[in-house]
Each structure stands twice: as structure tokens, then as C-alpha cells.
Amino acid sequence: MSGDTPPEGPRQLRKGRAKASDPAALAEFALRPDPADPRLTERVAGVDQDGRAVETAVVVERPLTLFLNGQEIVTMMTIGDYPDYLAVGYLLNQNMLHPEDVIESIDVDEELEVVVVRTERQTNYEEKLKKKVRTSGCAQGTVFGDLMEKFETVKLPAEAVLKTSWLVTLSKKINSVPSLYLEAGAIHGCVLCEGDRPLLYMEDVGRHNAVDKIAGYMLLHGIGPEDKIFYTTGRLTSEMVIKTVQMGIPILVSRSGFTAWGVELAKQAGLTLVGRAKGKRFVALAGAERLVFDHDPEALEDEDPRHQRKSGRADDAA
């Protein structure tokens, strides 16, 4: 698996502060999964329930070790499509990189499975790396201490709205666009949206990676969070709420359910938290004041089966 080149060819290293660009310039699905990329799935031979030989696609999972200015931070298991966005987003969401930091270089060595981020500011997170919190993910969850340090200072924009008609449209668009999920299952998706338009759709074996890749893209391309909606296929846990709030995004939507602490933190931060969102159905457990009920409750159908996450693989990303 080493020695591969990134899916869209080596991206130019960005030197200097991320500059603000016009968010309106982002096309629908400006970034989306590439299920045709041969390096993201493998075909594996097996047998089915009747002993017949079958061949099936499975997603890859490969290590990527992240260094910040000479300090080894963490080794991540990822599909490996956007190591630069993943690295920057991870550091940002861990408060090891600040939005105002000047990034001097991001070097990806595909063979060594290493990504190195260099900043103008000297960094040393030895103390921080000692503090570990295991989160509620479905694998070994750990965040380094101080994830809350930024959380409490964030002020989410009150004027942002979520029209209920958008939820139906977003769900339909996201779940019908080609994806690794539809190709191979066993993967999480996160989507940055604006109104009823999905802008950035990232997938990864770890949901945390999908979130971080979006955060990295937003920083490096100067995308503002104020008018955005964050859509995830995963659960609304404390970690997911903390990350969304830290990213400054006022609305978090999921097809999945809630944990009690996720709800509590969303209320504290004034985040709009919508879960169990399938077709026209949903439950909002925090920040309902941003909801605009603009759909006709009688007219709209339930989710079209063709736009559900594949029922035969409904638990696949679990």
C-alpha cells in the first residue's frame, strides 16, 4: 500500500496563512468520495452463506504517522486519500495548530506513511500528549487533554437557520451520490453543507478522520463556518459536538442517535443538534430555535428506499 500517490495527484504545498476565499465559489460536491480510486478499496475473495465463492469490495485502512515540527504526535488509521487535510484538521481540532498559525510546509511521504506539518511558531506538545481521554467512538477512542479549552470560548451565530426542507434534500443528495459507502460499506461519511447544498463530502474508516479532513480543508481554503451545516452518518456523541462547536459550525445533523452528554454539551454551546434524520423525519434535542418548519408535513413522503443508506449494510459503518 505504500508508494501510492495521492488520489488527485500531489497537492501543492501551501505556504503562509490560509487566505479567505469566497465561500460562494464552492460548487456542490466540490469535493466528494472517489469510489473508482483503486487504492481506496480492495477486492477480496470469500464464501457466502451457501458456500459459494464470492468476491467483494472492502475499504482499505492504512497507518499514517503525523509529525508536527519534529515531534511525533500520533499514528492514525485512515483510507489515506487526503493526508494533508487530515493532518492539518487533526492538529487544529486538537488545538495544537491555531487558525492564525503560519504553516510553512506539509510534506507527505507515501512510502514511509508519514505526514509532517511545519509551522513558523515553535511547538512542543509533550505535556499535552500525556493527557489521554478515550472517547465514545466504536474503537479505541482517545483525545488529548484540553479539547474543552477552546469549546467554552466559542460563540455560535444565533442568526443561522436550518430549514426542514433542506434536510430532506441533503439526505437525498448525499446518499445517492457515488461513494465508498455504496461501493464497499464499512465507512463513515461527513459532509459540510450550506442550505440544501452539500459542499465537501469526506469519507474515512474513522469518523474522526472524516471530520478532521473537512476541518483541514476549511482552514487551508479559508472556508467560513458561520452559515454551514455539518452532516454526519455517525452518532452525536460528546466528541462530535465538541468538534463541531470548535469548528464554529452552528448546526449538526446526523442520521444516527444521541448520547446524553452530547445533548448536554450542545445545549451549553447553543448548537442546533438534529438526530435520527431520515427522509423527512428527525428529532432535535438542542438549539431548536434555529429550525424553520417550511415543509408541508402532509405532502412529503418518507425517505425513498433508493436514498437510504443501503439497508443490507445499514450497520456497516457502525
What residues contact residue 8 under an 8 Å CB cut-off, 6+ apart? none
CA–CA distance, 275 with 234 (Å, rounded to integer) = 10
- Decide whether 197 or 278 has the Cβ nearer to a second copy: 278
- Decide whether 69 or 104 has the Cβ nearer to a second copy: 69
- Decide whether 15 or 43 has the Cβ nearer to a second copy: 43
Q: How far is the CB of 265 from a second copy (least distance, A)?
A: 10
Q: How far is the CB of 24 from a second copy (least distance, A)?
A: 29
Contact present, 6 and 107 (Cβ < 8 Å) = no
What residues contact residue 187 under an 8 Å CB cut-off, 6+ apart? 59, 79, 179, 180, 181, 203, 204, 205, 316, 317
- Decide whether 221 or 282 has the Cβ nearer to a second copy: 282
The type of residue at 143 is V
> Grid coordinates in use for 231?
452532516
Q: How far is the CB of 306 from a second copy (least distance, A)?
A: 15
CA–CA distance, 253 with 122 (Å, rounded to integer) = 37
- Decide whether 207 or 221 has the Cβ nearer to a second copy: 207
Q: What is the largest CA-CA distance in the chain?
A: 60
> Grid coordinates in use for 82?
487526503
Q: How far is the CB of 219 from a second copy (least distance, A)?
A: 19
Axis-axis angle for helices 238-246, 260-269 (nearest 10): 20
CA–CA distance, 313 with 317 (Å, rounded to integer) = 8
Q: How far is the CB of 271 from a second copy (least distance, A)?
A: 13
- Decide whether 65 or 224 has the Cβ nearer to a second copy: 65
Query: For the chain, how many residues are written?
Result: 318
> Grid coordinates in use for 204?
474515512
Q: How far is the CB of 281 from a second copy (least distance, A)?
A: 5
CA–CA distance, 11 with 180 (Å, rounded to integer) = 22
- Decide whether 236 or 247 has the Cβ nearer to a second copy: 236
Q: How far is the CB of 45 from a second copy (least distance, A)?
A: 8
